[in-house]
Amino acid sequence: MIKDEIKLDTITIALPKGKLFAPSRDLLKKAGCGAQGLSEDSRKLVIKNEEAGLSFVITKPVDLPTYVEYGAADIGVIGKDVLLEEQKDVYELLDLGFGKCRLMLAVPENLRRDKLTDYANLRVATKYPRVAAEFFHGVGIQAEIINLNGSIELAPMVGLSEMIVDIVETGRTLRENKLAEIAAIHTATARLIANRASFKLKSERIHSILDAIRRQLHSD
């Protein structure tokens, strides 16, 4: 019985590898939710702070919402772009404000056209096929969507596609590859998400962490 209560009180937090890892870890640490040795390069698969009742897992961003949806993690930090694409059954608790970027449609500068509808029936390469399909459906444009996982900017350069849907921060990579942004699809920032069952069963602990994060965000 005691073991079950301890397990219920332990919160597992999923953090994404990549650009969001460091600001996520630092925010949680300031909010009193850190752990010794919590590093993106750690060889440990699970990093624990037994005293605080916290456990951390570090995953690929695309996998993180799945860990939370199935309860392998109680809460996690992930970009809104991943949430939009993956559409997992999780609670979105808080916009953390950092990691701001935008999902956009871009074409080679020499293929710019006057109207969005002039891009109908072209091929678009993207890591976000679901988001792209919803966007084109919403504006009434037919497009052939090609799902890629590598450098999306390469696709128009080698004739694989005429357009791309990708995420950008400053737009520098687009300019360097002579690509022009023609439509903004979504703005994305880091979000705190929670497993639906955990949010009910571990409500007190999760709300305590949520409140600590809010206070830290307001103090910065």
The domain in which residue 173 lies consists of: 101-187
95 and 182 within one domain: no
Tell me the mean pLDDT in the region 189-200.
97
- Distance between CA atoms of 145 and 94, rounded to whole angstroms? 31
pLDDT digits (tens, 9 = 90+) for 161-194: 999 999 998 888 889 989 999 999 999 999 999 9
What pLDDT was estimated at residue 170?
85
* Tally of structural domains, the chain: 2
What pLDDT was estimated at residue 1?
33
What average pLDDT does the structure give for the chain? 93
- Distance between CA atoms of 212 and 63, rounded to whole angstroms? 26
What pLDDT was estimated at residue 41?
87
- Distance between CA atoms of 123 and 132, rounded to whole angstroms? 11
Nearest CA-CA partner of 156 in 120, 109, 121: 109
Q: Can you give the CATH number for the domain in which 55 is found?
A: 3.40.190.10
75 and 12 within one domain: yes
94 and 105 within one domain: no
200 and 95 within one domain: yes
89 and 142 within one domain: no
55-58 own/partner pairs: CB under 8 Å, 24+ apart: 55/10, 55/11, 55/12, 55/13, 56/12, 56/13, 56/14, 56/15, 57/12, 57/13, 57/14, 57/15, 58/14, 58/15, 58/16, 58/17, 58/21
95 and 114 within one domain: no
pLDDT digits (tens, 9 = 90+) for 91-138: 999 999 999 999 999 999 999 999 999 999 999 999 999 999 999 999
**Residues in a beta bridge with 75:** 13, 194
For the cut 80, the answer to whether the pLDDT of residue 37 exceeds it is yes
What pLDDT was estimated at residue 7?
46
What pLDDT was estimated at residue 5?
41
